[in-house]
Amino acid sequence: MRFFLRRTAFYLFTAWAAITINFFLPRFLKGDPVSAYIAKNQGLISPDAAASLRTLFGLDKNQSMLEQYINYWKLLFSGDLGRSFSKGLAPVTDVIASALPWTIGLVGIATILSFVIGTMLGAYAGWRRGSKADALIPITTFFSTVPYFWLGLIAIALLATGLGWFPASHAYDKGSTPEFSLDFIGQVINHGTLPALTIVISSLGGWVLGMRNMMVTVMDEDYVTVAQAKGLSPRKVLINYAARNAVLPQLSSFALSLGFIVGGTLVMELVFSYPGVGKLLLDATNAKDYPLMQGLFLIITLTILVANILADVAYAILDPRTRQSEA
Amino acid sequence: MTQPETAVIAAVDTAPRPPRKQNFATKFGQAFSMFRNGKSIAGLCILGFFVLVAIFGDLLAPYGPLDKDFTALRQGPSATHWLGTTHMGEDVLSQLIYGTRGVLVVGFAAGIIATLIAVIIGVTAGYIGGWKSEGLSAVTNVFLVIPALPLMIIVASQYENPSLLLIAGVLALTGWAWGSRVLRAQTMSLRNRDFVQAARANGEPLYRIIAVEMLPNLIAIIASSFVGTVTAAVLGLTTLAFIGVIPITNLNWGTILFWAQQNGAFPDFWWWYVPAGLCIALLGMALSLINFGIDEYVNPRLRSAGERAREMRKKGIKVSSSVTAVRTAPPSGSDPGSGGASAPKHASPAADADAVTPVTPPAPASPDDTTAR
């Protein structure tokens, strides 16, 4: 019980810190692009929207910092993240909501695939240590040190424009609208394969290496020897005894990797013009669309936090020791 | 971890104390012993090559990085331009050589700043304990959760012309947390070791305990986190440059790729974009190799795993199929040799780090073992 309380406290603290950083970021900015924008579009922005923008960016000089902070929280709880300058003054929440499913769908699937494949390869390489399987590590490491955007561009050059196997960009064919039909789903899969493939290839290395090293360490444990001495089949020992214990640290780095993956997806979405959160952030940066930038940063951070919570719960279910040792 | 012990043994063995100078030299050598293996040396050689290129870039580069040769636009590799030219007639090889400096300076500066923060926060959090430690740990975790690249883009986009140091600072700010976390865990486990307790009982001041007793045992982890941060910083810098957040006046490999992409080099003008990407990959690979070497130094099981398995296979024992080795070759006249070789191994199971217990010894031995425990 105490374990869960501690974790909850940690997540609340992290969420508070992330939101507070988000509160202070625009207040350290040089210049004042936001008030200039508001002044320029005096008639276009409703007084309500202008007021919420002033609160979000600390333009109301009559208020103390504390008042601004409290108002900022009030706005957040009412789900108001301001209006996006570059998207025709649409509410930031709506703009983000239209992009989020694409990122979570594609990157989520790619990350899980990469984790599963990498961990399995790593378990195999650890089990067959000293054999040809050791060659997996330098190969996958090479692909993980190659800059992702470069890999993506070369993949496009070879597989999309060169061989014409996959479309080079966007999430679905031009001219079609998102709908639940077999044709549209086929398009999405067709467009998503190449980005997903490049993400998996470039992120495989870490999983293979981590799992392989853990396997080599776990194989020395007495319980593996005992399992062997009992005459269990090698397969059973590999899966139920060695890999099962070796995978635990992998799970906690999986939670942490979600943060890096959101960073990686940004480049992926740029290279493949994929209509996700990362592309939105880049567009917002280029357009100096500060409300959208702030909102996106907040949403990305909170998404990672939620992913961490899920991974934490999974870890606690899988490894009873975490619950006991902390208590 | 073995350093204090070996020091004691050395002191006991040699009654006349060795001169202090030599002692310092051996200590200095010990500090670098983590690099004394094939993988680390290979990595350091590649890294050294890039460092030399960065230092002597002015002498090596055949042209200036922005010298324009309008008679040769978008030309493939030739004798005058070894790696071809850009759309403006700039020499790609020269840009690559000058770009090395930008990459390495930012990478190492970020690595040094991040490692300093990681050591200060990680070691302090590991040593003091209590709620202060929890607080520092919470701060570390916050920085682990915050997405690095979006933060970098937002911060870098606030400046019209960010300096190299600022870029390095932002990369460091988003990169120190992992090292700090690992260092905290290691310091916590060191804190209760006997030699640290002894130093504390002797009344040594805190800074001395940390600097003299603990840091030597943390060097491998610090080095590994430094190398890891440099790798991340190099990738981060080139990515930022490629996205176009970093001004193009700061020439590095990412800027070359930025220009290549902006001017439609993909997919036809391969000489423009392939070398820069390969350089980044090669540098990353070198840094990873150094880290593999350090990992094997820290965790000897990793080092012995491959060697032992290969050794066993030479003797006709199949390791991979199971932990308990089974001899695949049928017993014949040549066997006693290998049987004799495996017998002493069984005699000292503790020394056998690979836990390969030959099947040949009599079975009753192991039940006795388990009941004794």
Nearest to A142 among B150, B157, B285 (CB): B285
Which of residues B258, B277, B298 is at a domain's end? B298
Neighbours of A195 (CB within 10 A): 25
User: Would you state the pLDDT for residue A262?
Assistant: 62
Q: Is the ipTM of this complex over 0.85?
A: no
Shared-domain flag, residues B237 and B324: no
Is the model's pLDDT at A228 over the cut of 80?
A: yes
CATH number at residue B85: 1.10.3720.10
Least confident of A180-184, A244-248, B123-127: A180-184
The whole-angstrom separation of Cα B224 and Cα B293 is 9
Helix axes B270-298, B253-262, angle to 10 degrees: 150
- Residue B230 CA, distance from chain mean position: 9
- Residue A234 CA, distance from chain mean position: 36
User: Would you state the pLDDT for residue B306?
Assistant: 66
Shared-domain flag, residues B272 and B333: no
Token readout for B165 is: 């140091």
Shared-domain flag, residues B368 and B287: no
Higher pLDDT, B138 or A41: B138
User: Would you state the pLDDT for residue B25?
Assistant: 66
Q: End-to-end distance of chain A based on CA atoms, in angstroms?
A: 7
What range defines the domain where residue B126 resides?
31-298
- Closest CA in chain B for residue A10: B138
User: Of B90, B86, B93, B92, whose CA–CA distance to B53 is shortest?
Assistant: B93
Shared-domain flag, residues B135 and B276: yes
Helix axes A182-218, A92-127, angle to 10 degrees: 40
Q: How many CA atoms lie within 13 A of B7 on its CB side?
A: 12
Which of residues B265, B298, B331 is at a domain's end? B298
The CA–CA distances, whole Å, from A141 to A132, B137, B172, B301 equal 16, 30, 23, 20
Nearest to B281 among A142, A161, A237 (CB): A142
Say if B11 falls within a structural domain: no
Partner A contacted by B202 (CB < 8 A)? no
Helix axes B92-128, B38-55, angle to 10 degrees: 130
The CA–CA distances, whole Å, from A100 to A41, A107, A303 equal 28, 11, 10
Note whether A145 contacts B238, CB cutoff 8 Å. no
Query: Which residues in A284-303 are b (16+ Cβ under 10 Å) and which e?
Result: bbeebbbbbbbbbbbbbbbb
3-state secondary structure of A195: helix
Token readout for A117 is: 């494949």
Shared-domain flag, residues B92 and B183: yes
Note whether A237 contacts B322, CB cutoff 8 Å. yes
The whole-angstrom separation of Cα B13 and Cα B261 is 66
Which percentage of chain A shows pLDDT scores above 70?
Answer: 83
3-state secondary structure of A319: coil
Is the model's pLDDT at A208 over the cut of 80?
A: yes
Shared-domain flag, residues B173 and B311: no
**Confidence tier at A119 by pLDDT (50, 70, 90):** very high
Phi-psi region of B223 (alpha: psi -120 to 50; beta: other; left: phi over 0): alpha
Shared-domain flag, residues B240 and B315: no
- Closest CA in chain A for residue B292: A209
Amino acid at B133: S
Shared-domain flag, residues B167 and B268: yes
Report pLDDT digits (tens) over B143-202. Answer: 887 777 777 777 777 777 777 788 888 889 888 988 898 888 888 888 888 888 898 899
Is the model's pLDDT at B256 over the cut of 70?
A: yes
Which of residues B267, B283, B298 is at a domain's end? B298
Note whether A300 contacts B150, CB cutoff 8 Å. yes
The CA–CA distances, whole Å, from B317 to A33, A223, A232, B97, B339 equal 72, 22, 19, 51, 11
Note whether A127 contacts B320, CB cutoff 8 Å. yes
The whole-angstrom separation of Cα B152 and Cα B237 is 10
Is the model's pLDDT at A317 over the cut of 70?
A: yes
Which percentage of chain B shows pLDDT scores above 90?
Answer: 8
Say if B235 falls within a structural domain: yes
Say if B4 falls within a structural domain: no
The whole-angstrom separation of Cα A188 and Cα B349 is 57
Say if B103 falls within a structural domain: yes
Say if B243 falls within a structural domain: yes
Shared-domain flag, residues B254 and B311: no
3-state secondary structure of B326: strand
Shared-domain flag, residues B55 and B181: yes
Report pLDDT digits (tens) over B62-88. Answer: 777 777 777 767 777 777 777 777 777
User: Would you state the pLDDT for residue B27?
Assistant: 65
Distance in Å, alpha carbon of B164 to nearest chain A alpha carbon: 19
Note whether B273 contacts A142, CB cutoff 8 Å. no
Shared-domain flag, residues B107 and B138: yes
The total number of structural domains that make up chain B:
2
Shared-domain flag, residues B124 and B179: yes
